[in-house]
Amino acid sequence: MKILLLLLFTTPIICFSQTSFSCNLKEFCDWNEYKETWENDCNSFEYNCLFVMNKDETMFVHTTATIKSTYFVKKSRYTQEQADENFFAYDVVSDVGNEYYFIFDMANKEVKTITKDENGNSILIRYYVKSIF
C-alpha cells in the first residue's frame, strides 16, 4: 500500500483542461464544382489568432486582434480511428447563429472551416497552426 501511495504522489499526472491552437497564417480556397475539388490558388495572408477548445469538446473560442467569437459544438463528426490520428471534425454554430463545419487536424497542424460565401459558393478557410498547447 505504501508503494502505491508513493507512486501516486511521485508520478506526474497529465491532465488537459483545454487544447489551444495558435495560428499565424490564413487562406481562403474556392470549391471547383466541375472538378469537385478545392482550388490550388488560394488567397493566403499573415493572420494571428488563437483557437481554444474546452476539454469536453462542447465549445471553442476563436480570438483575433479585433474580436472574440464562441462556437458551440452541435455534433462531433469523427471516428475513433480519426481521433487516434489527431483529426477532429465538428458541426458548430457561432455565438451569432452562423453554422460551420470545423476540422482540427493536429497531425498536419491546420484548423479548417467550410462555409458559404454571400453567393452560396463553398469556401474553405484554412488556418496554419504555429503551436498546439
Question: What is the tens place of the pLDDT at every residue in 64-77?
Answer: 999 999 999 999 99
Position 17 scores a pLDDT of: 65
Written as one letter, the residue type at 119 is N
pLDDT at residue 33, as a whole number: 86
Distance from C-alpha of 99 to C-alpha of 10, rounded to nearest angstrom:
46
Distance CA(124)–CA(105), nearest Å, equals 14
Residues of the chain with pLDDT under 50: 1-16
C-alpha cell at 86: 489527431
Of 35, 38, 24, 2, residue with least CA distance to 111:
24
* Three-class SS state of 122: strand
pTM of whole model > 0.85?
Answer: no
